[in-house]
Chain A
Amino acid sequence: MNRKKFFLSASLAAAAVALFKYIPFTLAKRNFSSKKVEVKINPLAVSRKKVGEKNV
């Protein structure tokens, strides 16, 4: 392999690798909701720490 062809191959390979890394393959997939969801507790609800207990 001559010098010119070697550098051409090497640079093409580097470009391919770089491209491979950044190709957004996930675009082919369906994009389900990725929005940030805020988890909040409803302050009016009554929680407990135990499974079996009764108040009233």
Chain B
Amino acid sequence: MSDYREENNLQNNPDPNYWRSFEELYKNEKTLEARNHEFADGVTDDFNPNESLSGISRRKFLALLGASAAFAGVACSDYRDKGEIVPYNVKPEEIILGKPNFYASTCTACPNSCGILIKTREGRPIKVDGNPEHPVNRGKICAKGQANILNLYDPERIQQPLKKNSAGFDNIDWKKADSDIIAALSMAGSKEISIVTHTISSPTFLKVLEDFKSKFPSTKVYSYELFNNSNRNSAWIKSYGSGNFPLIKWNEAKVIVALDSDFLGVEGNRIENSRLFAESRDVNSKSFNRLYVIESSMTLTGINADYRMRIRPELQFAFVMSLMNELNKKGVISTSLASGFSLSDFVEKNNLDKEKVNYLINDLIAYKGKSIIHAGDLLPENVHIAVNILNDLLGNKNLYRNDSSPVNLINLASLDEIKELVGKISNGQIAAVIHLDCNPVYHFPSDLNYKNMLGKVPIVVTLTERMNETAQFSNYILPVNHNFESWGDAKNRTGVISLQQPVISPLHNTRQKEAILLTWISSSPETFSETLYHDYLMKHWETDIYPSLKSKIEFKQLWFGALHDGFLLTNESAQNVGNINLSSLDLNQASIDTKGITLILRESYQVGDGRFANNGWLQELPHPVSRITWDNYAAISHNTAKSLNVENDDLVEVSVGGRKLTLPVFIQAGNADDTITIELGYGREFSGIVASGVGFNANQLLSSKPDFSNWVYSNASITKAAGKYSLASTQEHHAFDNPRTQDLHLKRHIIQEGTVSLYEKKPDFIQEHRPKELESVYTPFQYNEMKWGMAIDLNKCLGCGDCIVACNVENNVPVVGKDQVLKSREMQWLRIDRYYSGSPDDPRVSVQPMLCQHCDQAPCENVCPVVATTHSPDGLNQMVYNRCVGTRYCSNNCPYKVRRFNFFNFRDHFRDGYQESSLLTLMFNPEVTVRSRGVMEKCTFCVQRIEEARSEAARKGVPIKGTDVKTACQEACPTNAIHFGDINGKDSEFYKYRTHELGYYVLEELNVRPNVTYIAKLRNIHTEEL
């Protein structure tokens, strides 16, 4: 990195305008040169006939020609049997061929239990979206929830029970497995049977566990999550005596202060948080909240901040107390708790921006009772207590929701309880360990030595969908149903119970985990039946849940109605927030040594805690901040990198408390100096062809004796190691044409931004930059009827990337693999462009979803020699796949760089044809052509959905309306930033955005007349100028 500056004589004066990466900021010659080429080095092979064929004889030429013809003839004569299409002899009543069915269910991708609607075609689940009626997620679902469909069809799912032998595992039948395990459990006696599981959010599953405990009284349940909010909840109990940390009215907060809290990224129900947050970022109502983020690592929440400051996590307690003292001094609150702290000293000592801190103080005063301070999950309990007190003193309790509260059916096991379990195993006090769809060998701190401890347990049973690190060390591996094959229910907040139903019968010889436990409870393997858990669930609802509802309708009617809806609303009141206990704050924990480097371990945005590591769509989803795919890395600040003399991709050794890990470095603008941030969830072993060997297992840096919090470790060290490791970042891919000017995005108004103050004063300030209407050499086509268009509100777009995965699933977009991403060959039709501006220490971040703009005068159409890309009468830029011969001229001529070329049949190319397996083909959307090698593709505005709506309108005999169609990205967007509709439909909501005073087109001066409108982002800062 320092090389770029020296080479370009830039020293410490980086250009303040927009930049995409450090390579661009410091004008790295190689990167800028690469912009001049459509394809990266090595992507297209140079072929020089004079060199390759020089001196060829006529005879040799004819021989080669003949041989080529013969081989081509042989190759083309191969007929691959694709099977037969046979109509239903007896058509299932609910299926109409060609028409989808929808099933309401509950997502189990994380403990949030969002309501989902699963779309099936001829019995095959093909798409997951949020259930629009569900009160929590209201029709939206995160990337993991959407990509979960790939896990259903994963060909590497375990398909029958396995029993360990000396060399590996043998297939056994369920009856034998059940008999062996029942016998082992019956002999447990007083020794403990340990059940290890993730969060339990199902009341009926909890009842199964209670029944299990009744049958086997020595059972103990250990529920754990690698990332959890236990510090927040324990702080709440100390502060208020009971209950859980409440839900927050993010939409009513005028000022939000996030302290290392990634509430828009990975903490809490981020779908709900994002929606509520974005409700107060509305250009139509001119309502804007103000977000202050004070954090150590650049997070998704951080990139959306109006004001952002960076401090190490150990300093957060002193920061909160200093704020408290300052507010006390100003007479806004009355407390002597923070008298030992001084904000001015803190600001001075930690080199914070005084102006920003003053703004924060003034806003907390001005919006007393309308602001919320929120500490992150990774911060220790004492910071949460201090935050609870400050919120209470400021009267911000108003923003705790009183319509619903979180519900914990069973508390998570503490680290001490986990240590106790390991101790019992070591002492031979455990008769059996049952892992319920979890992976503690991977998740538990390595110093617990859980993997080797399992060898001391007489019988270890792992119930799992696919092989993992824990299953490898188990005596029995029992394959469980996928979420979409299972029954269940979920309750994680008051007032709503969600139901989960199977949308397909099990694809393999698998069973539902609850049914497996019920079989063991009955002590007879013969008890199992396909409906065992369904019957149990229904009975539990009838006897335990239904009476408490006091419903006027009969149970069966309620049951089927609730199954249809996917949830049931109940009359439960939320918890009351009592009086705060000021003595809960322990001031002795204030002084923390911040010397050395701080290691911060975070949850991966893409693969979570590792349970989605086998999911290619998520692995290939660019990181919302760094844009890196297929890896984790040590993210360090620009200054820390300089002091260590390391560049991007250099290998470094991170060491803390004797635990070490070597991994590549990535210089992240905006990270706090002297911190290392590593995301967990990578470096999986024994986990299938997609997950194994991807990234680095940073879980080995976790300790069972953390000094600050479970995820933050002080006094770490980092040293440069030998070698480099290529990280596949999409950040520099598909860049707009660059005339070697650093402020291209500013000069060409690709990103247009302003401030709320400026907008209030001059609402049409954006229009100054718009070029005058230009004449075209083409006669414009008159769109007198429908014309499809899109509007993207950059005030609401957070850059999360949920839309990318939704597009992948809807449009059968293949996974290409890291090697291809390194060559800019990722196939995603929609990308999120991320720009920085300002200094690398304190960058302002802008995000912009970029997809085919469906230009009226599309440059791609003019250059296609075979007319494979054409324009439809309703304004769509269309691809005719079977006409495309792959010249790539269209891609070359596209100013937005949104076309994607199939350099291979990626389904065959990726991981030995993993995506070609017959199981994964069941996942295809039958309405979208599966593209093969040599074909160009791009966003179609979900033309299949448009055609479906048109067909439906024709059936009803009414004209199609713009509101009849929702694109996949629009449907997925948690903040409703994407609007789609008829440009000529003047009464629609979409039309308001299309003609909004803040609306602009990207590269408008090219006169290609795009049909995607961007609504300029407004920063809610105190000045008019950015």
Contacts and interface: CB of A to CB of B under 8 A. Distances in A.
Contact of B504 (A30, A40, A54): A40
Contacts of A33: 155, 159, 917-919
Interface stretch (B314-322, B559-567, B713-721, B823-831): B559-567
Nearest to B560: A46
Given A44-B534, A54-B565, A55-B565, A32 B104 contact: no
A30 B234 CA distance: 49
A29 interface: yes
A21 B71 CA distance: 9
B70 A17 contact: yes
Contact of A32 (B122, B129, B155): B155
A34 B92 CA distance: 26
Given A46-B564, A56-B565, A41 B159 contact: no
Contacts of A41: 92, 94-95, 123, 503-505
B743 interface: no
Contacts of B139: 52
A2 interface: no
Interface in A14-56: 17, 20-21, 26, 29-30, 32-37, 39-42, 44-56
Contacts of B77: 21
Given A39-B922, A44-B531, A49 B102 contact: yes
B503 A17 contact: no
B689 A30 contact: yes
Contacts of A52: 132-133, 139
A54 B918 contact: no
Interface string B384-401: 000000000000000000
A29 B122 contact: no
A45 B123 CA distance: 12
B78 interface: yes
A41 B159 CA distance: 19
Contacts of B103: 45-48
A33 to B, nearest CB: 5
A52 B120 CA distance: 15
B74 A17 contact: yes
Nearest to A29: B912
B689 A48 contact: no
Given A33-B917, A33-B918, A51-B132, A42 B501 contact: yes
Contacts of B754: none
Contacts of A26: 913
Contacts of B735: none
A30 B133 contact: no
Contact of B101 (A21, A29, A40, A47): A47
Contacts of A48: 101-104, 564
Contacts of B132: 51-52
Interface centre among B558, B912, B914 (most CB of A within 10 A): B912
B60 interface: no
Contact of A51 (B95, B102, B912, B918): B102
B71 A29 contact: no
Contacts of A12: none
B505 A40 contact: yes
A26 B564 CA distance: 45
B562 A56 contact: yes
Contact of A45 (B124, B155, B502): B502
A12 B94 CA distance: 59
A30 to B, nearest CB: 4
B944 to A, nearest CB: 15
B501 A54 contact: no
A49 B93 CA distance: 12
A17 B156 CA distance: 35
Given A48-B104, A49-B99, A52-B132, A32 B156 contact: yes
Contacts of A44: 501-502, 531, 534
B159 A54 contact: no
B577 interface: no
B352 interface: no
B117 interface: yes
B700 to A, nearest CB: 28
A41 B561 CA distance: 19
A42 B485 CA distance: 9
Given A37-B922, A40-B123, A32 B563 contact: no
Nearest to B557: A56
A32 to B, nearest CB: 4
Nearest to A33: B155
B153 to A, nearest CB: 9
A54 B133 CA distance: 7
B943 interface: no
A45 B916 CA distance: 30
A29 to B, nearest CB: 5
A45 B70 contact: no
A49 to B, nearest CB: 7
B885 interface: no
Contact of A46 (B120, B558, B563, B913): B563
B102 A47 contact: yes
B568 interface: yes
B503 A45 contact: yes
B125 to A, nearest CB: 10
Contacts of B916: 32
B132 to A, nearest CB: 5
B507 interface: yes
A47 B123 CA distance: 11
Contacts of A49: 99-102
A18 to B, nearest CB: 8
B102 A42 contact: no
A53 B134 CA distance: 11
B522 to A, nearest CB: 21
B505 A42 contact: yes
A20 B71 CA distance: 8
B74 A20 contact: yes
A37 B78 CA distance: 25
A56 B1018 CA distance: 42
Nearest to A55: B561
Contacts of B914: 30, 32
Contacts of B922: 37, 39
A1 B418 CA distance: 82
A48 B503 CA distance: 11
Nearest to A20: B74
Contacts of A55: 560-562, 564-565
A26 B917 CA distance: 13
A12 B419 CA distance: 71
B511 to A, nearest CB: 14
B70 A37 contact: no
Interface string B102-124: 11100000000000010010111
Contacts of A32: 155-156, 912-914, 916-917, 919
Nearest to B501: A45
Nearest to B971: A51
A56 B101 contact: no
Nearest to A44: B534
Contacts of B911: 30
Interface in B542-559: 553, 558
Contacts of A46: 103-104, 501, 560, 563-564
15 contacts: A20-B74, A26-B913, A30-B911, A33-B919, A41-B503, A41-B504, A42-B502, A45-B501, A45-B502, A45-B503, A46-B501, A47-B94, A52-B132, A55-B565, A56-B568
Interface of B: 67, 70-71, 74, 77-78, 92, 94-95, 99-104, 117, 120, 122-124, 129, 132-133, 139, 155-156, 159, 485, 501-505, 507-508, 531, 534, 553, 558, 560-565, 568, 689, 911-914, 916-919, 922
Given A21-B74, A37-B507, A55-B562, 13 more contacts: A21-B78, A26-B913, A33-B155, A33-B918, A39-B507, A41-B92, A42-B502, A42-B505, A46-B501, A47-B120, A48-B101, A48-B104, A56-B561
Sorted from nearest, which 8 A-B pairs have the closest CB atoms? Answer: A56-B561, A32-B917, A55-B561, A40-B505, A46-B563, A30-B912, A32-B155, A47-B101
